A = this chain, B = another copy of it.
Amino acid sequence: MQYPEPIAKLIDSYMHLPGIGEKTATRLAFYTINLPQADVDQFAAALQAVKRNLKYCSICGNVTEDDPCQICRDQSRDQSKVIVVEDSKDVMSLERMNEYHGLYHVLHGVLSPMEGKGPDDLNITALVKRLQTHPTITEVIVATNATPEGEATAMYLSRLLKPAGIKITRLAHGLAVGSDIEYADEMTLYKAIEGRQEI
Stretch at the interface among A30-38, A131-139, A154-162: A30-38
A75 at the interface (CB under 8 A from B): no
A46 CB to closest chain B CB (Å) equals: 4
Total interface residues on A, using CB and 8 Å? 53
Within 33-89 of A, Cβ neighbours of B (below 8 Å) are at: 33, 35, 37, 39-54, 63-65, 70-71, 87-89
A6 at the interface (CB under 8 A from B): yes
* Residues of the B chain whose Cβ atoms lie less than 8 Å from the Cβ of A12: 46
- Stoichiometry (number of copies): 2
A29 CB to closest chain B CB (Å) equals: 7
A18 at the interface (CB under 8 A from B): yes
Q: Tell me whether chain A's interface is mostly helix, strand or loop, or mixed.
A: helix
Known contacts A63-B4, A95-B1, A32 near B51 by CB under 8 Å: yes
A sample of 28 cross-chain residue pairs with beta-carbon separation below 8 angstroms, ordered by A number, consists of: A1-B71, A1-B92, A4-B63, A6-B46, A6-B49, A6-B52, A6-B53, A6-B54, A6-B65, A7-B54, A10-B47, A10-B50, A13-B42, A13-B43, A13-B47, A14-B43, A16-B35, A16-B43, A17-B28, A17-B32, A30-B88, A33-B54, A33-B63, A35-B51, A40-B47, A40-B48, A40-B50, A44-B47
Q: Which residues of A contact B (CB under 8 A)?
A: 1, 3-7, 9-10, 12-14, 16-19, 24, 26-33, 35, 37, 39-54, 63-65, 70-71, 87-89, 92, 95-96
